[in-house]
Structure 1
Amino acid sequence: MKRSLGVGLAVLALSAVLAGGVCAAVEKIGYVDLARIFDEYQKTKELDKSLEARGAQKQAERDKMVAEVKRLRDEAELLSAKAKEDKQVSIDDKIKTLQEFDRSTRDTLRRERDSMVRDILKEIEAVIGDYGKAQGYSFIFNDRVLVFKDEQSDLTPQVVKALNGSYAAKKK
């Protein structure tokens, strides 16, 4: 009986030691909402405003070009057939210029936006990595790949705070 009790206690003690080792090996895991971080990042907001301002400026330029085409068409209505044909060449040239302007502006703004997004995502990833290392996380996932997520593991607010804090410090 004493022997069985001794063996039982030994097994129990061994189990406790092994369980402690298993618990120590548990990985610290979190997730972030990358889209929300991107949208709430102050630098994103500022660069979006800048792009909107440039877009509005380009739209004003385009509106002037459209008004010029309309003016030329109105003038052409009053001209004779021969003069109308000559004016149509000028109108066609203005339309081609307008179309090229539209294409060029759209491409330029798209490239600028794409470059901005790439740069911001690199910054976000760096901050997430730094935050994860500092807080002892083994893994931080993008929430879009998760089927189930516990709200307590959401690191989004902390990352947004760290990101905006570092951005504000850089601006000073």
Structure 2
Amino acid sequence: MKKTVVGTIISAALILGVAQGIFAQNIKVAVVDFDEVVKRYYKTQVYQEKMREEVIGEENILKEKIEEINQIRDEMELLSDEAKEEKEKMLQMKIAEAQGSRDQTKKEFQRKMVATMNEIFNEIYVEIEKQGKEGGYTFVLRKRVASPAIDQPIVLYADDQYEITEAIIEALNENQPVVEPDNTAKPQENAVE
């Protein structure tokens, strides 16, 4: 993220420096609210829903393991000291298994998130570049940098006529598949009185 911020600041400085030397030329600049594009791109929403479902599934698996651990603990209270030691080994093994599973799942979710979001970002970058070329823009600037640590505008002011965020969103969502409503439920038959 720091590289992105530094790169953006350097790019803006270079643009300003170069712009002074070539103001005689026709320069056309556009701005994009990248975070808004990401948020409203249908693939982002599909991915988020898919991840929500996967998280729920993994939480259910973890709950089952916790219930199994609690059951072993309950059983241990009724056992002799010698039998408790054996159950304690089993309990520790189950706890380690649950923690390992949780950690592995977390790593896998993070890996999937990075890969999927990079794919989504690349698709957005391609569309921005395409529209930049088609629109005859010299530069397309990111409107702001937003992260948990920083939320600062890069472009402090731009007239709305230079804003291409909506056009980018429309182009990206143009090929969104139509989701048919689920008609698998049986229709109710007319009740005869």
Q: TM-score range, shorter-chain basis?
A: 0.7 to 0.9
Cα deviation code 1:40-81 (max 9, x no counterpart): 000110111111111111111111000000100011111111
Q: Secondary structure at the match of 2:157?
A: coil
In 1, distance between residues paired with 2:173 and 2:114? 21
Q: Residue type matched to 1:151 in 2?
A: D
Q: What TM-score results when the alignment is normalised by the length of structure 2?
A: 0.72
In 2, distance between residues paired with 1:77 and 1:35? 55
Q: Residue type matched to 2:125 in 1?
A: E
Q: Residue type matched to 1:153 in 2?
A: Y
In 1, distance between residues paired with 2:111 and 2:23? 49
Q: Secondary structure at the match of 1:168?
A: coil
Q: Which residue is 1:76 aligned to?
A: 76
In 2, distance between residues paired with 1:132 and 1:24? 21
Shift of 1:24: 7.5
Give 1 or 2 for the bigger CA radius of gyration. 1
Q: Which residue is 2:167 aligned to?
A: 158
Shift of 1:154: 1.6
In 2, distance between residues paired with 1:70 and 1:149? 60
In 2, distance between residues paired with 1:152 and 1:102? 49
Shift of 1:151: 3.0
After TM superposition, where is structure 1 displaced by more than 4 Å over at least 4 residues in a row? none
Q: What TM-score results when the alignment is normalised by the length of structure 1?
A: 0.81
Bigger fraction of residues in helix: 1
Shift of 1:23: 8.4
Structure 1: 5+ residue runs without aligned partners? 1-21
Cα deviation code 1:91-140 (max 9, x no counterpart): 00000000000000000011001100000000000000001111111111
1:11-160 pair list within 5 angstroms: 25-144=25-144, 145-160=154-169
Percent identity between matched residues is 27
Q: Residue type matched to 2:165 in 1?
A: T
Partner residue of 2:176 out of 146, 168, 172: 168
Q: Residue type matched to 2:73 in 1?
A: R
RMSD over aligned Cα, in angstroms? 1.8
Q: Residue type matched to 2:170 in 1?
A: K
In 2, distance between residues paired with 1:51 and 1:142? 27
